[in-house]
Structure formats: C-alpha cells, structure tokens
Chain A
C-alpha cells in the first residue's frame, strides 16, 4: 500500500517534469550586444533575439525547465525569462557582477560574483539571498553535484577549486590547481569532477570523495586555453572549449588523451550538450557564432550567426 501511494505520488509528480521535455530551443547570451539569441533546436536557425540587460553572460534553466535565468553582469541582476513565451517574467539583484551560475536540483541558484570574491545563493522564486560564501579572487565556474550535496566554485586568480557543502554552505576543501581554473563538471554519481585551467592549458580529474586531484593532462594542442567542459551521456568522453585554439577538444574521460580536435570558430568559450547526447554546441566568442557538432562524426554540421561575443549557452530539451 505504501509503495502504491508512493507510486501514485510519483505519477502525480511526473507531469510537470514530462512537460519539461522543453521547447527544444537553444539560448545563447551575447555579452557584447546585450541580447539572448533564441535558436530553434530542429532547424538550427535563430528565431528570436531578446534584449535582457547589460553584459549577459551565465545562462541556465530551472530544474523543471519552466524558467530561463540570465546573469546580466553589469546590472548585477538575474533576469528570469519564460522559455516558451520568451517574455521577461522578473529580475532580481544577485550581488556584484554575477558571472556564471549553476542551478541546484532544489531550484536555488549558485552564483560566482566575479568582482567580489564571493559565491552567493539565491532563491529565484523570491529573489531572496540564502547564503554568501567568501571564496578566492575572480570566482568563475560553478558546478553542482547531481545529488546536490557539493558545489565547486573555481577562483581564477587564486587558482583553486573551492568545494562547498550543501546545505551548510561552508567550504570543506580548497584544491590548488593550474593557473586560471575556469569550469568544472561532476560525474552523475558525484564521485569525480573534471576541471579546466585556462592559462596552464590543463584538464584535471578530481576525486570528490577525497577532494584531491588524481590526474592532470596538459592539452597537447599548445594553443588551447581550455574553458568550458562537459561530459558525454555515457561519461566516457569529455568535451572542452579550446578558447584560443579555435576548436572543441574531445578527450577520453579515463585517460584525458585527445581523441579529436574539432575546428569551430574563434575564441571558443561556452559548451552545451543535447539531452540525448547527439549534439554538442559551442559559442565562438570572436566569430559571433555558434557551432553545432554531430557527436557521432565529431564534425560541425552547422555554424549559426548570433550576436556579439556569444558567451553562455543552454538547451531547453
């Protein structure tokens, strides 16, 4: 009986999540033109361009996909957009210079405040600040473990991964890494994380149970200044935005060796993966474009012109 009731509850809980199958749209922040480009996920054409505040950078979706969040860095705000109607729903103040953020499974937003050497936690429903955590200088990347128990904030000018415990919101470890750590991603079970360092050109694998780096690999492409990082669905493959190398670098997640280098546009900053894993998209900051990559062939299937200095990207699928 208990199991039956539980099952019913599960079913009742399902519709909103199922509805979150999403609009199929791809959203891209254009730091230079103060807009968000809306791309149709099927036709890969820009269907709309939204004005969303000044210097938009970080972008993300609520766990159910009903709300799109955009960090308007120079307005010190998070702008909330309806991904369906594309209407701006509201905005709230999010500390000084919000840059990147990640959305927790509980719906809260964890933001790196680049100017302020802080990470802040907001409830986007109320706009209320839940916590403020002092971290290193120029905090940048934010990654949240799938179970929500750990948050990594990278501080670019202090060269650390700060590991924050949730819900306590205290720092449990500071892991020194190569110069200018940019981004991190957790495996599904939360046991490992991968992080990039831009200036040292490295990718590292971190044991998140022991909070220590277990493998470091300098990306063999000398010009690579690695930025965003993401994992394939099967977690066997790592995709790294190569920055100045004008490519997306495909690595074996176990050995960190390069499997492929995919030329895209100039200054590759952001990455996003379709839910089914068939596509990876890159934002090419200095080419004002987004590249759509077929992950079976590791080839670009389309280059989409967007606004100036495209930065963040998220897929509502």
Chain B
C-alpha cells in the first residue's frame, strides 16, 4: 500500500510543480487495478508517457493511479477509464460495479467473458479462441508446427513494432510482453479518443471506443472493437520462444480479415 502512496505523491508533486499544464484545459484520470509488479502496469505507464506527449500539444494531462483489487469502488470515482489486470470473475464483478465507465481487460482471456457481451468491457487482451484460430491457421501452412499465439512479442519489428519495443525497453529494461502491450494499448487508445472527442467524460469515451475507434496498435492493421467488446487485432505466432509469423496467416486469410480470429458471438 505504501508503494502506491509514493506513486500517487510523485504524480501530485509533478502536477504542483507545473500547475498550468497539469490543471490546464483538461485532466484525464485513469486508474489501474491489479498487482503493482504486473507488466500490464509498466505497459500502461509507457502509454501514459506517450499520452502526455500528445496531450502537451492539446492541453490534456493524463494521470494514472494504481490500486489493488481490494480497493473500494469509491476510490475509482472521477476516473475517465479503468484498466484491470484481473481474473475473469473479478473483472466481471468490477464491470457490474462501474456501469457506463470504460473498463479495459488486460489479463483475462476466457471466451465466456467475450460471449457475455458486457456493455462497458473492452477486452484488449486477445481471447482464447483468437489464439486457437491463429494457431490453426498457421498449421494449415506449416503442419505439425508447435506454435503459440499472443498479442505481442519483444522481437516484433514490423509496422513500427521495432519503435514500440525500443521505447519500452529503454523505459523499463524489459522486453514488452502481451500484458505490457495490452496496458500500453489501453492508455494509447484512450488518449487517441480523448484527443478526438476533446472530452474526458466516461460515457462519451465508452461510446466512441465501442463504435468509432480506429486504432493503430503498431501491428499493421486498423483495430476496432467487436460487439462482444473484444479488440480486433492480428496475433503474433511464436515457436520455441522465437517470433515466426503473424495471423491472419497469409494464404489462409487476408491480412485485414481480423474476424477470422476467434470471433466469439454474444450469448
């Protein structure tokens, strides 16, 4: 608990030192819920730096607070969006407690969460069915290959993946993984949307994210949310720890046919 107090204090001091930009045109408060040691939080902080780089041109200041899963919902008051690195059960409970507030899922891959079509859920992390379909597409071209599929890889260099990996490594000393990417993407799509809306209202943001988002997640395809709340995105295929390809797999599906990957229907 003390650790988070220090994080919050640092943010406050920074704001006090630069009172004009901080409390200028628009403040946007984001809250992360999960473990402090989680890569998702490191990724979200990377996204925060980038959001503020954009915000300086537009008079928007982003703040990210970290809370544990045990934190009372009242502590989330005033948040434009909430980022959750939780298991499926805790995520679903939080979603119900925060109606109308954009709630990003950075961790739970359960297909049932997608099929539940929760109105304020934004699943940035790919669901299990997406990984299964990506692997199945790869095996059509490479029978017998032992691959796994994920959202991101520290060696990915195409489509400016190189740039994002470089920035993240410089900031954290670590390679970016799936959870870090999800944290980064959640903040980045929030700042991109707030910039276009010129509003930090949670309801306005949620409607825009669900219906109008056209996001560059640095994987080469335009990303948007399905009715299930799942982010459409390419998957990266890994064999023996090495990046070997991307899905949709060429020759099996077109590179922009993102709904060939785990398009779970609403139940």
| Chain A CB within 8 A of B14 CB | no
Q: B171 in the interface, Cβ–Cβ < 8 Å?
A: no
- Interface-side segment among B23-31, B51-59, B100-108, B228-236: B51-59
In the complex, per-residue mask of B241-267: 1 if CB is within 8 Å of any chain A CB, else 0: 000000000000011100000000000
Given contacts A138-B160, A158-B53, contact A176 B256 (CB under 8 A): no
Q: Which residues of B contact A162 (CB under 8 A)?
A: 57
Q: Is the pair A179, B53 in contact by a Cβ cutoff of 8 Å?
A: no
Contact of B192 with A by CB under 8 A? yes
Asked if residues A244 and B58 are in contact (CB atoms below 8 Å), the reply is no
A247 to B114, CA, bound (A): 38
CA of A8 to CA of B47 in the docked complex: distance in angstroms? 60
Q: Establish whether residues A159 and B192, one from each chain, have CB atoms under 8 Å apart when the complex forms.
A: yes
Residues of A within 8 A of B192 (CB): 159, 179
User: In chain A, what residue has the closest Cβ to B163?
Assistant: A138
CB-based contact B214/A176 at 8 Å: no
CB of B251, distance to nearest CB on chain A (Å) = 14
Which positions 26-66 of chain B face chain A at CB distance < 8 Å? 50, 53-54, 57-58
Q: For the complex, give the distance between the alpha carbons of A162 and B220 in Å.
A: 23
Question: Counting CB contacts under 8 A, is B218 at the interface?
Answer: yes
Partner of B222, one of A160, A171, A176, A200: A200
A178 and B54 within 8 A (CB): no
Interface pair B57/A199, CB less than 8 Å apart: no
Chain B residues with CB below 8 A from A222, complex form = 256
Query: A136 and B163: CB pair below 8 A?
Result: no
**Contact assessment for B53 and A199 in the assembled complex, using a CB-CB cutoff below 8 Å:** no
A176 vs B53: C-alpha distance when bound (angstroms): 14
A158 touches B214 (CB 8 A): no
A242 CB to closest chain B CB (Å) equals 13
- A157 close to B222 (CB less than 8 A): no
Distance of A201 Cα from B214 Cα, bound (Å):
10
A136-151 vs B, Cβ < 8 Å mask (1 yes, 0 no): 1110000000000000
Q: Chain A residues with Cβ under 8 A from B50's Cβ?
A: 137, 157-158
A-B contacts at CB below 8 angstroms, number: 62
Contact B163 A179 (CB under 8 A): no
Instruction: Tell whether A104 is near chain B: CB-to-CB under 8 Å.
Output: no
A115 touching B256 in the complex, CB below 8 Å, given contacts A136-B53, A174-B58, A180-B216: no
Assuming A115-B166, A138-B163, A201-B222, is B53 touching A178 (CB within 8 A)?
no
CB-defined contacts of A157 to chain B, threshold 8 Å? 50, 160, 163-164, 216, 218
The answer to whether B166 and A179 touch across the interface, beta carbons within 8 angstroms, is no
Cβ of A223 within 8 Å of any chain B Cβ, yes or no, is: yes
Q: Which residue of B is nearest A200, CB measured?
A: B214
* B196 at interface, CB cutoff 8 A: yes
Residues of chain A contacted by B129 (CB below 8 angstroms): none
Given the contacts A160-B57, A176-B196, A199 and B163 also touching, CB distance less than 8 Å: no
Q: Which residue of A lies closest to B217 (CB)?
A: A199
Query: What's the minimum C-beta distance from A17 to chain B, rounded to whole angstroms?
Result: 38
Residues of B within 8 A of A (CB-CB), count: 23
Q: Which residues of A contact B222 (CB under 8 A)?
A: 179, 199-201
Interface string of B206-227 (1 = CB under 8 A from A): 0000000011101011100000
For the residues of B in contact with A, the DSSP-based class is helix
The answer on a CB contact under 8 Å between A156 and B160 is yes
Q: Which residue of B lies closest to A140 (CB)?
A: B160
What CA separation (Å) do A244 and B58 show in the bound complex? 32
Name the residue on B nearest A162 (C-beta). B57
For the complex, what is the distance from the CA of A162 to the CA of B57, rounded to whole Å?
9
**Which of chain A's residues has its CB closest to B255's CB?**
A244
Q: A residues within 8 A CB of B166? A: 115
Q: Is B86 an interface residue (CB 8 A)?
A: no
Q: Which residues of A contact B254 (CB under 8 A)?
A: 223
Question: Using Cβ atoms and an 8 Å threshold, which residues of chain A touch B53?
Answer: 117, 136-137, 158
| A199, B195: Cβ atoms closer than 8 Å | no
Task: Please name the residue on chain B nearest to A159 by beta carbon.
Answer: B192
User: In the assembled complex, which residues on chain A have CB atoms less than 8 Å from the CB atom of B164?
Assistant: 157
Interface pair B214/A199, CB less than 8 Å apart: yes
| Residue A114 CB within 8 A of the other chain | yes
- Complex: A114 Cα to B164 Cα, angstroms: 11
Q: How far is the CA of A199 from the CA of B255 in the complex (A)?
A: 13
Which residues on A sit within 8 Å (CB–CB) of B167? 137
Produce 1/0 per residue, B185-216, CB < 8 A to A: 00000001001100000000000000000111
The closest CB in chain A to the CB of B55 belongs to A158
Q: What are the residues of chain B within 8 A of A156 when measuring CB–CB?
A: 160, 216
Partner among B54, B58, B215, B255 whose Cβ is within 8 Å of the Cβ of A179? B215
- Per CB-CB distance, the 10 closest pairs between chain A and chain B, nearest first, are A179-B216, A199-B216, A174-B57, A158-B54, A180-B216, A199-B222, A200-B214, A138-B163, A137-B50, A176-B195
With A137-B167, A179-B214, A199-B221 given, can you name 6 additional A-B contacts, CB distance below 8 Å? A136-B57, A176-B195, A179-B215, A180-B160, A180-B216, A223-B254
- Where the two chains meet, the residues of B that have a C-beta atom closer than 8 Å to any C-beta of A are 50, 53-54, 57-58, 160, 163-164, 166-167, 192, 195-196, 214-216, 218, 220-222, 254-256
9 pairs of residues in contact across A and B, judged by CB atoms under 8 Å: A138-B160, A157-B50, A159-B54, A162-B57, A178-B214, A179-B215, A200-B222, A201-B222, A225-B220
